[in-house]
Structure 1
Amino acid sequence: MTETNPRTELLNALPLREDLRGKSPYGAPQLEVPVTLNTNENTHPVPTEVQQAIVEEVSMAALNLNRYPDREFTELREELAAYLGQGLGPENLWAANGSNEILQQLMQAFGGPGRSVLSFVPTYSMYPILAAGTNTEFIAGQRAADFTLSPESAAAQVREHKPSIVILCSPNNPTGTALEDDVVDAVYQAGEASNSIVIVDEAYAEFARNPATTALSLLPGRPRLVVTRTMSKAFALAGARIGYFAAAAEIADAIRLVRLPYHLSAVSQATALAALRHRSSLLADVEDIKMQRDRIVDELKRLGLQPSESDSNFVFFGGDFDAPALWQELLSRGILIRDVGIAGHLRVTAGTEEETTAFLEAVETHLTR
């Protein structure tokens, strides 16, 4: 006999939008285990000196918490422009509470009823959820069997669907693979006829094998191109919720039409400013994370599995193994990785050397017993 959840009945009794009925909220498992490698966090703690700098900056902000924050977060945009370089000025930068809110704001401004957003699956699972929340049709574009995306295929799909927005995730989540500039350029040109906004989601850009390869370099002369970033990954600030984008100044003007008043709190601005001013310390762990990522790729290959070559801080892998059984055994050993819902594949975050060793030893034990 099936038990009925009273909360579900109460939810169904509400005048909920029909397109939201039966949906489940987004969220990865949050379990208390010794080794958590399922949400692509930077598992290295924030350095002590940066912690102190954040506390000092937030303490200064606390003196004026009775007042609304700078709604233009001018200092933060200046620091972000200085960090990115590429000839960008503060007028080209925008920030919000995580890159998810950045994407939501972009969909609020350029999506909506009667409009669509195209992305190429498998990709970040929040895209269709954000589309649903803004009443924007989500179109699941196709990749090749090996999950790659060619310029020709991507452009053809843009011309076919004529979307209002295209999202290119690079490095892609969950596969970890980066797109070449020719894919971005082909999509941008294909979107001319439909006046499509092209968003390149570079949440993991700092972990790329060649960090100089970034869609930021394509921004000049492309007013419909937007590059989104986050401070959750390389900057180890997942708990602070700071995301941002770089684009033509008029894109930021469009977002001002839909943003909530004073959407970025004084505490958030202070935290981000302190982090950016101490970015050398925060980013010092990036090379170590890349080393552990490459170690995971090499070791999984040695064990006969098929990991993707990764430009992110995680590794997506498949092969001839029982993915659910491996996931469960790792969990029983206190190691949590991600089942991304793709048959025969799993994803693991590159952690510290000790965390990576624990993961690799557990995988080898499982495969060789």
Structure 2
Amino acid sequence: MEPHGTVVHGALDEAELAMLGLHAEQLIDFSSNINPFGPPATVLAALRALNPAPYPDRSCLRLRQQLAHLHHCDPAAVLVGNGANELIHLVARGLGQPDTTALMVAPTYGEYAYAANLVGMTIAEVRSTAADQFQLDRTALIAAIEHFRPRLLWLCSPNNPTGVALDTATILECAHVCARYDGWLILDRAYLSLTRDYTGCDPLDSIAVPRLIRIYSLTKSYAVAGLRIGYLIATPEVVSTIARFQPAWSVSSAAQAAALAMLADPAFLPTTLPQLWAASDELVAGLRQLGLNVWRAQMPFMLVQSTDATFTRRQLLTHGCVVRDCTSFGLPDWVRVAPRRPAENARLLTAWQVLIPKYAHTGDV
């Protein structure tokens, strides 16, 4: 946990940099899972043309209409938020109940447990391990749902930090078992649009699933994390219940304008995703050539094994490279690395090569 009690996250921390005498412009951020080939020019043009004087549209009507068209649903089934993070907390407040169980499929994003804790829920988890190549046993997962009967089941697929994605059949089975016990499956799809074979849609769009809430992020694949824009899809009744806890004007005019520009740009993702995956392939190969143990699944980001993740992060930081210490995920001997552009990846490989004699830990997952 960070000093003010919230969840540990990646990205640059200005307070930490000031303490170390470093400046953000000196560093390359490999800790944030963001498309390094963005933002799109269309988004930047939309932001330059924006008049910031009026209040933003409280209902995000135009954006909800476009998202509904994308997902083949009613605009009333869409709730736009100040990033996926706000939506996670809104779901916990709207549907969570004190003294009920929130089940986590770990290792995973820490904000789920934090949000559930804030509403007085009991946290349980089922965990995959490196020994099993971070693959979650379907039978064990269903058994955990049957045992804990969670009010909320949080499932990130593709998962952060492991990159593992569950198949549609498993997701549907989880949703149906949750529904049997009056629970909800909250499916975090923040990374779906970064998959290698992403087609621009979610296979779940065409399936009616009871008690399923899907959360999406627009900031990662389009590289606009500073704007904070995400959305969820559920039944209109559930959206109405959750939206009661959202402050007015939560989503800025800049975020709405940027999102509309992203959705109107058909070329950006098809152009940049192959570049991102080529950079990821090259970085994986380079790290393995250094003798490092690298795990990568359905995401371009990867886990790299180290004897001490915290120390490795600090040492790479002194060489101008920021990676994600995975200790907070319960993985103290792994760091997460998101690929950057080829020249930046080469700088990371050079920095890591200096550390190998003392810090590298090799071996097979």
Per the normalisation by structure 1, the TM-score is 0.83
Change (3 A) 1:211 1:23: same
Equivalent residues in 2 for 1:273-352, closer than 5 Å? 273-278=260-265, 280-281=267-268, 284-318=271-305, 321-341=307-327, 342-352=331-341
Q: Is the 8 A contact 2:196 2:273 kept in 1?
A: no
Change (3 A) 1:212 1:276: closer
Q: Is the 8 A contact 1:306 1:317 kept in 2?
A: yes
Q: 2:107 aligns with which of 88, 104, 122?
A: 122
1:49 CA drift (Å)? 4.1
Q: Is the 8 A contact 2:97 2:151 kept in 1?
A: no
Task: Give, in whole Å, the separation in 2 of the partners of 1:48 and 1:210.
Answer: 23
The one-letter code sitting in structure 1 at the alignment partner of 2:164 is: T
Change (3 A) 1:186 1:212: farther
Q: Is the 8 A contact 1:118 1:167 kept in 2?
A: yes
1:199 CA drift (Å)? 1.3
Give the number of aligned pairs.
341
Task: Give, in whole Å, the separation in 1 of the partners of 2:104 and 2:7.
Answer: 20
1:310 CA drift (Å)? 2.9
Partner in structure 1 of residue 89 of structure 2: 104
Q: Is the 8 A contact 1:306 1:318 kept in 2?
A: yes
Find out whether 1:250 has 2:237 as its counterpart: yes
1:210 CA drift (Å)? 3.0
**More displaced stretch, 138-147 vs 229-238:** 138-147
Task: Give, in whole Å, the separation in 1 of the partners of 2:27 and 2:127.
Answer: 37
Task: Give, in whole Å, the separation in 2 of the partners of 1:195 and 1:207.
Answer: 32
Find out whether 1:132 has 2:117 as its counterpart: yes
- What SS is found at the alignment partner of 1:358? helix
- What SS is found at the alignment partner of 1:141? strand
Change (3 A) 1:226 1:360: same
- What SS is found at the alignment partner of 1:94? strand
- What SS is found at the alignment partner of 1:239? helix
Partner in structure 2 of residue 4 of structure 1: none
Task: Give, in whole Å, the separation in 2 of the partners of 1:214 and 1:121.
Answer: 26
Task: Give, in whole Å, the separation in 1 of the partners of 2:334 and 2:151.
Answer: 32
Task: Give, in whole Å, the separation in 1 of the partners of 2:208 and 2:340.
Answer: 39
The one-letter code sitting in structure 2 at the alignment partner of 1:358 is: R
The one-letter code sitting in structure 2 at the alignment partner of 1:278 is: D
The one-letter code sitting in structure 1 at the alignment partner of 2:183 is: S
Percent sequence identity over matched residues?
27
The one-letter code sitting in structure 2 at the alignment partner of 1:123 is: T
Find out whether 1:178 has 2:171 as its counterpart: no
Equivalent residues in 2 for 1:1-369, closer than 5 Å? 23=5, 26-28=8-10, 29-30=12-13, 31=17, 32=24, 33-56=26-49, 58-59=50-51, 62=52, 65=54, 68-82=55-69, 84-85=70-71, 87-144=72-129, 145-146=131-132, 147-212=134-199, 216-217=203-204, 220-278=207-265, 280-281=267-268, 284-318=271-305, 321-341=307-327, 342-367=331-356
**More displaced stretch, 325-334 vs 106-115:** 325-334
Q: Is the 8 A contact 1:338 1:347 kept in 2?
A: yes
Q: Is the 8 A contact 1:174 1:316 kept in 2?
A: yes
Change (3 A) 1:218 1:25: closer
**Structure 1 stretches of 5 or more lacking a match?**
1-19
Question: In the TM superposition, what whole-angstrom CA distance separates every residue of 1:316-340 from its partner, at most 9, and x where no partner exists?
Answer: 1226x55445333322211111111
Radius of gyration: which is bigger? 1
Per the normalisation by structure 2, the TM-score is 0.84
1:211 CA drift (Å)? 2.2
RMSD: 2.7
Question: In the TM superposition, what whole-angstrom CA distance separates every residue of 1:262-302 from its partner, at most 9, and x where no partner exists?
Answer: 43233432232233223533663222112212222233333
1:114 CA drift (Å)? 2.4
